[in-house]
Amino acid sequence: MPRALITGITGQDGLYLSELLLREGYEVYGLIRGQNNPKADLVAREVPGVQLLTGDLTDLSSLLRALRVAQPDEVYNLGAVSFVAYSWEQAALTTEVTATGVLNILEAIRLHSGDDPSRIRFYQASSSEMFGKVQDVPQRESTLLWPRSPYGVAKVYGHYMTINYRESYGMHASSGILFNHESPRRGPEFVTRKVSMGVAAIKLGLRDKLTMGNLDARRDWGFAGDYVEAMWRMLQQPTASDFVVATGETHSVRELLECAFRVAGIDDWEQHIDQDKSFFRPAEVDLLIGDASRARTVLGWKPSVDFEGLVTMMVEADLRRLHDAQR
Ligand code: G4F
């Protein structure tokens, strides 16, 4: 039975990836941070087969301990301070977790693996946020990175450190440059979920307005359930490498709003939107659109849910959730 260790187990990707690995017959361990982490219950409820270990990406010895217990064949590093807007407010913490945390887990794997650093396969959750002020349209693996946030800078560090460990020690370390990926499990601070929850609440008459930031930013949004499949496929390759994972479609936040209100059957959507400067960022990533040709060719991966399907899935899930909560 193959064994996997996942950091960032409490996020949407951790949950979807756990489901996939359990289906594939893995023994799955999840690293969870802090004393009495309230999200432990969520993991136990949603993916009961996962065994939780306490540890923190900023604490090397806790990572070594987790590796000793889990004895994984594969490690997926999904843990990060992942909300871009927050990274300006806590830039040092973001750097410690999202950048240095990658070095810590790579180093822990190297130390744990002894003579054969390639025996544990490693996945690093790199991000399209690294493209920032984009230098190519669409963005691909070879596109110059130009991050625009402390989060993006931290992800660039983790990305290159992963490549460096592959080249220095022969580790089977791959980096997935994932474009925005969403689901009904997405945290409410991210724009897609904020919109799906807000639109559902407006539809049910629980509120009237949604306060937004920049409506012109464009993103390549896919479904998280599809993207964890790409992560897994990367680690099944004979050689480690880096892959862009994206849908190849781009939409603005305005189009996201239009679509979400349309799904809920509300026409006069602009009446329900306010804008507030506090939701704008000090520097914006204006346009993301990925070219995932390499993932298609090498991994045989393609997305199964398009933009409209994703927004429909999220709005309908929040409508059901709010409806049930009212009964
Ligand atoms: O949903 P967002 O907060 O995601 P963002 O910043 O693109 O980052 C996400 O995707 C990255 C991959 O590219 C990940 F690495 C990262 O961890 C995260 O998952 O914001 C999307 C866009 C931004 O341009 C933002 O300015 O939506 C714009 N936006 C407009 N109004 C808003 C809002 N974003 C949020 N969160 N809230 C708003 O009210």
The reply to whether 168 and 31 lie within a common domain is yes
Domain count, the chain: 2
> For 41-100, what is each residue's pLDDT tens digit?
999 999 999 999 999 999 999 999 999 999 999 999 999 999 999 999 999 999 999 999
The reply to whether 27 and 159 lie within a common domain is yes
The reply to whether 123 and 240 lie within a common domain is yes
Name the residue of 195, 219, 221 whose CB sits within 8 Å of the most ligand 1 atoms, as the mutation to test its pocket. 219
Residues tagged active-site: 127, 129, 151
**Rounded alpha-carbon distances, angstroms, from residue 237 to 51, 122, 231, 250:** 26, 12, 11, 29
Residue 102 makes CB contacts below 8 A (sequence gap 6+) with 57, 77, 124, 157, 158, 161, 162
The reply to whether 142 and 200 lie within a common domain is no
What pLDDT score does 241 carry? 98
Arithmetic mean of pLDDT over the chain: 98
> Is the CB of 175 within 6 Å of ligand 1?
no
The reply to whether 258 and 240 lie within a common domain is no
Domain that holds residue 274: 188-219+251-287+306-326
Cβ pair 108, 70 in contact under 8 A: no
What pLDDT score does 314 carry? 99
> For 228-260, what is each residue's pLDDT tens digit?
999 999 999 999 999 999 999 999 999 999 999
The reply to whether 62 and 160 lie within a common domain is yes
The reply to whether 230 and 197 lie within a common domain is no
Give the CATH number for residue 117: 3.40.50.720
Which residue has 């992942």 as its token pair?
82
Name the residue of 134, 182, 253, 278 whose CB sits within 8 Å of the most ligand 1 atoms, as the mutation to test its pocket. 253
Give CA–CA dist 324/327, Å, rounded: 5
What pLDDT score does 79 carry? 98
Give CA–CA dist 142/122, Å, rounded: 21
DSSP 238-282: SS--EEEE--S--EEHHHHHHHHHHHTT-S-GGGGEEE-GGGS-S
What pLDDT score does 34 carry? 83
The protein residue with its alpha carbon nearest to ligand 1, atom 3, reads: 190
The protein residue with its alpha carbon nearest to ligand 1, atom 17, reads: 82
For residue 32, tell me if it sits in a domain: yes
How many Å lie between the centroid of ligand 1 and the Cα of residue 267? 25
Q: Tell whether pTM > 0.75.
A: yes
> For 44-58, what is each residue's pLDDT tens digit?
999 999 999 999 999
> Is the CB of 86 within 6 Å of ligand 1?
no
For residue 292, tell me if it sits in a domain: no
The reply to whether 144 and 154 lie within a common domain is yes
Query: Is residue 35 very low, low, confident or very high in pLDDT (cuts 50, 70, 90)?
Result: confident
For residue 239, tell me if it sits in a domain: yes
Sign (positive/negative) of CA torsion 70, 76, 82, 88? positive
